[in-house]
Amino acid sequence: MKIKSILITLFFLVMISSALFASGPKLGTSAAPELMIPMGARNVALGSANIADISGTEAIYWNPAGLSMIKGGEATFSYLSYFADMNISYFAAGTRVGKTGAVGISLQMFSIGEVPVTTIEAPEGTGEILKPNFMTFGASYAKQFTDRINFGANLKVISEKIGNMSASAVAFDFGLQYVTPFNISFGLAMRNFGSDMSYNGTGIEFDTSVPWSNPNATTRKTKLDMGAAELPTSLNMGITYDYRLDRLQTLKVSGVYANNSYAIDQAGVGLEYAFKKMVFLRGGYSLPFYPEDYPEGYKDDGQFGATFGMGLAVPMGNSSLIIDYAYRNMDLFDANQYFSIGFSF
């Protein structure tokens, strides 16, 4: 009971303090912006609103506390067709480890495609082609402290490579879920808390002559100092109400508030209809929070608006196959389309 009281008190203190002091513009350039791209078709279709009762391997990205509700083993693969011929592949797997809790792994691979190299001397291109490689690997642990309190954490290693330059960082996610006796769940997720990130490599090295030295003297290797950037941390608070229409049909209503360190804060709402827990229809909407605090030109810079999707869960004996699709509107580019396939056993 003591642990339960502490967790509940901490949860509500964070929610109240964030609601009171979260306003104000915090735009800027962060490291590893790919961490801000949402993963998983189901929650994307819900406007990123379902962090309070999300469960299984999809919860690893949104709220690792939900991994604790996995009953056996589960694996999920998600693919996103991003804009400008970019795409993202995401894989997550998890399993229950007896009374110890649940463990999982995840891998996100962001493909930008081929980028031609240009210089001042060769503005049309040097003929060299770069293939940037952005990858994030995660290890997760989650546990149910009681039948109503779930906790989880991720350890993530972020690696980026562009040509002969590379950067890396370590980050943590923490999640908490509280399920009330009234079909209402609360969720809290703190994401991407970690080390700063800066690039290093031979791409910032060049030869230079030593001032006042003999013109025939050997040049000296000089290396530029690269600045470090912080990761895009965020604090997400959500609530979900699970309403049973009848024996076969359920309706879930979810809401979320996201306090972002390097992006406009946003609020979202999602609605999920389920028939026999096999067929799912989903919709959501997200909008900027405190838009009046931001200068003109920034208010519409975020990709806000309507989302929708659908899902199908196919029983296969003691296992099940889960297929999800989501459509996410983008103001400035073509819409995102997500495809996810999962298997539980």
* 28-58 per-position pLDDT tens digit: 678 888 998 999 999 999 999 999 999 999 9
For residues 118-126, give the mean pLDDT: 85
pTM for the structure as a whole: 0.86
The CA angle 257-10-158, to the nearest 5 degrees, is 60
pLDDT number for residue 261: 85
**Domain limits for position 92:** 2-344
Indicate the length of the chain as a whole number: 345
3-state secondary structure the chain: CHHHHHHHHHHHHHHHHHHHHCCCCCCCCCCCHHHHCCCCHHHHHCCCCCCCCCCCCCHHHHCHHHHHHCCCEEEEEEEEECCCCCEEEEEEEEEECHHHCEEEEEEEEEECCCEECCCCCCCCCCCCEECCEEEEEEEEEEEECCCCEEEEEEEEEEEEEECCEEEEEEEEEEEEEEECCCCEEEEEEEEEEECCECCEEHHHEEEECCCCCCCCCCCEEEECCCCCECCCCEEEEEEEEEEECCCCEEEEEEEEEEEECCCCCEEEEEEEEEECCCEEEEEEEEEECCHHHCCCCCCCCCCCEEEEEEEEEEEECCEEEEEEEEEECCCCCCCEEEEEEEEEC
Give the pLDDT band of residue 1 (cuts 50, 70, 90). Answer: very low
pLDDT confidence of 172, banded at 50, 70, 90?
very high
Which amino acid would we find at residue 171? A
pLDDT tens for residues 237-250? 999 999 999 999 99
Which CATH number belongs to the domain containing residue 170 in this structure?
A: 2.40.160.40
Select from 105, 109, 74 the least CA-distant residue to 89: 109
Higher pLDDT, 295 or 327: 327
Question: In total, how many domains does the chain have?
Answer: 1
For position 303, what pLDDT does the model report?
A: 63
Residues 162 and 206: their CA atoms lie apart, in Å, by: 18
Phi-psi region of 24 (alpha: psi -120 to 50; beta: other; left: phi over 0): left
